[in-house]
Amino acid sequence: MDGAPTASRPVRGLAWAIICFLLLPIAVVFPVSLTDKRYLSLPEDNLSLQHFANLFSSPEWLSSIGQSFVIACAATVLTVIVGTLCAIGCWRIGSKLADFVRVLMLVPIIVPTIVYALGIYRLWVDLRLLDSYLGLIIAHSVTGIPYVVIIVSTALAHFDARLEQAARNLGANLRQRLWLVILPGILPAVVSSAIFAFIHSWDELVLALFLASRAVFTLPRRIWDGINEQLDPTMAAVAVLLIVVTMVLLGAEMWLRSRRTA
Amino acid sequence: MRRPAFGETGIYWMLVMPALLMLIGFYLFPLVRVLWVSVMEPTPGLGNYALLFTNSSIHRVLLTTLRICLLTTAITLLLGYVVAYVMAQASERTQRWMMLGILLPLWISVLVRAFAWVTLLRRQGIINNSLMGMGVIDDPLPLIWNELGITIGMVHYMLPFAVLPLLTGMRGIDRRCLAAARGLGASRMQSFMRVFLPLSLPGVVGASILVFIFSLGFLVTPAILGGGRTLMIAEYISVQILDVVQWGVGTMLATTLIVFIFALLGLLARVVDMRRLFGAT
């Protein structure tokens, strides 16, 4: 403390209470997923793993998990490649126009997904990509680009541009400079952007509502139907699964971040 | 540093191209087509936009959306301000823990969070059951499938989006100003009201507009916690397209929504540096 006043005790208590408001509702699905009842409730007599057993023996849930995983992986690879290249390009060009391109890449965060969903739905009707893996992968990739551009651009801002200059003066071509100089320097940022791009696609519902119907039925799409139709404790087991996946990915990201700043 | 020759810059533009072409072909082009459909279907003209002034169910949806979004923004900002204020002045270690408490919910699926609120708030939900078990109430409280439920869920979703820009703003405040105010005899309250609060206002304006914009186009939480009884604009649009198949009305509302959002962003750009808000620099 450097002598400036800190927040008073009641205010600090209030802040922690608000953080509990953020976390507790999420925590509640853990006990609910272990309930011994057949309806959504806290466990009363015993803890039971039957709802997890239901989840992992249901072909519908398993197929949705598999589909979401494949789509998220493909979308992540595509987004990270084009997003990283774009961030590197804009960084080296450094003109007003490049700044404009970087801001343009943020548009998908600002425009509500529902609006984009209408547009891409119409385009996919014309291109016959409705209800296909490719259609959803492209839609998730485009909307994931902002996360990659933001994270990689931030890392590049701290990267010494003279290293790349030196490599060029020593005769390295563009591919060598990208692979051997720039990429190793920003690798942790690229990996964390991949984590966020993955979560973005894995959790995405609104586009899936419009673009997926029968052949493709992602996990969020099935959860949506579950919430609207039969609210059984299997849903809580799915929720726990999703929370654990997110926590693992975020943990990995934070570990990377600590290495990046160290 | 030597300015690269034109050919050099050309190579770097080639790196930008794949993303730019994807964005133009698969994002901006479909978006422009939404505007196009809104003036072309069912008949060319501004007929769809006239509904904004004449159709009473659209009026109701717009008013509900504005009311819920304004309320959500106000509550979110109030709560977010408290958290950011405490974080900005806490020790490094405390800050890290609080940040974890903010970031974890931010990245947990919006569906999971809405589902968690359903288990808590519904008629036989955990809150109503425990209150009835304790004998505090006789009948379940109507906590969900109304505007109250939507607002609770939305505040929960939006809080991290308020805390992060508020915190960025507050970290930029020179703490010596506060120390000076205290040293000159101001009470804790006075130094907050006369020094800290005014200095934090740009962050507050930025965070409010950001939260308000995100709330406006929000589909998932209002649809689940509103239970189809309280319709907000995003859900109304999806009903127009997926259920009653009225592309003209749906795209008209979508266009209205983005025009309104970009107008708000223009306002925001006059107050704060946008790129700092999104962390792009």
Is residue B66 located within the same domain as residue B178?
A: yes
Position A101 in a domain: yes
Is residue B92 located within the same domain as residue B220?
A: yes
Burial profile A108-119: b = 16 or more Cβ within 10 angstroms, e = fewer: bebbbbbbbbbb
- Tell me how many domains chain B contains: 2
Find chain A residues with C-beta within 8 A of B91's C-beta. Answer: 1
Burial profile B103-136: b = 16 or more Cβ within 10 angstroms, e = fewer: bbbebbbbbbbbbbbbbbbbeebbbbeeeeeeee
Could you say which of A7, A90, A111 has the minimum Cβ distance to residue B16?
Answer: A90
Position B118 in a domain: no
The rounded distance, in Å, linking the Cα atoms of A254 and A22 is: 20
Give A67-102 as a DSSP string: HHHHHHHHHHHHHHHHHHHHHHHHHHH-SHHHHHHH
Position B132 in a domain: no
Contact between B251 and B37 under an 8 Å Cβ cutoff? The reply is yes
Position A256 in a domain: yes
Strand ranges inside chain B, DSSP E: none
Is residue B178 located within the same domain as residue B79?
A: yes
CA torsion A124-A125-A126-A129 (nearest 10°) is 40
Position B110 in a domain: no
Secondary structure (H, E, C), B151-194: HHHHHHHHHHHHHHHHHHHHHCCCHHHHHHHHHCCCCHHHHHHH
Range of the domain at A171: 58-261
Is residue B166 located within the same domain as residue B198?
A: yes
Contact between A112 and B255 under an 8 Å Cβ cutoff? The reply is no
The rounded distance, in Å, linking the Cα atoms of A102 and A88 is: 11
Range of the domain at B248: 46-105+142-277
pLDDT digits over B61-96, tens only?
999 999 999 999 999 999 999 999 999 988 889 998
- Tell me how many domains chain A contains: 1
Position A4 in a domain: no
Is residue B202 located within the same domain as residue B233?
A: yes
Is residue B101 located within the same domain as residue B230?
A: yes
Cross-chain Cβ contact B179/A5 below 8 Å? yes
Q: Which of B65, B76, B107 to mutate to test the interface with A (most CBs of A within 10 A)?
A: B107
Question: Of A185, A129, A192, A133, which is closest to residue A159 (Cα–Cα)?
Answer: A185
Is residue B12 located within the same domain as residue B92?
A: no
Residues 6 or more apart whose Cβ sits within 8 Å of residue B132: B138, B140
Find chain A residues with C-beta within 8 A of B19's C-beta. Answer: 82-83, 85-86, 105, 145, 149
Position A15 in a domain: no
Q: How far is CA B217 from CA A60, A143, A209, B23, in A?
A: 30, 15, 15, 20
* DSSP code, position A34: T
Position B121 in a domain: no
Position B18 in a domain: yes
Pairs of CB atoms within 8 A across A/B: 273
ipTM here: 0.89
Is residue B2 located within the same domain as residue B101?
A: no
In angstroms, the first-to-last Cα distance of chain B is: 21
Is residue B161 located within the same domain as residue B219?
A: yes
Contact between B39 and B256 under an 8 Å Cβ cutoff? The reply is no
| Full pLDDT tens readout for chain B, 281 residues | 445 455 678 888 999 999 999 999 999 999 999 999 999 988 888 989 999 999 999 999 999 999 999 999 999 999 999 999 999 988 889 998 999 999 999 999 999 999 999 999 988 888 998 899 888 888 888 998 899 999 999 999 999 999 998 998 898 888 888 888 888 988 888 888 888 899 888 889 989 999 999 999 999 999 999 988 889 999 999 999 999 999 999 999 999 999 999 999 888 887 776 655 554 43
pLDDT digits over A86-118, tens only?
999 999 888 899 999 999 999 999 999 999 999
Is residue B186 located within the same domain as residue B148?
A: yes
Cross-chain Cβ contact B101/A22 below 8 Å? yes
Is residue B178 located within the same domain as residue B219?
A: yes
In angstroms, the first-to-last Cα distance of chain A is: 23
CATH number at residue B210: 1.10.3720.10
Cross-chain Cβ contact A150/B14 below 8 Å? no
CATH number at residue A64: 1.10.3720.10
Could you say which of A41, A103, A119 has the minimum Cβ distance to residue B30?
Answer: A119
What is the chain B residue with the closest CA to A162?
B1
Is residue B227 located within the same domain as residue B251?
A: yes
**In a 10 Å sphere around its CB, with 0-12 CB exposed, 13-18 middle and 19+ buried, how is residue B17 labelled?**
middle
The rounded distance, in Å, linking the Cα atoms of B240 and B235 is: 9
Other C-beta atoms closer than 10 Å to the C-beta of A258 total 10
Cross-chain Cβ contact B89/A6 below 8 Å? yes
Cross-chain Cβ contact B115/A235 below 8 Å? yes
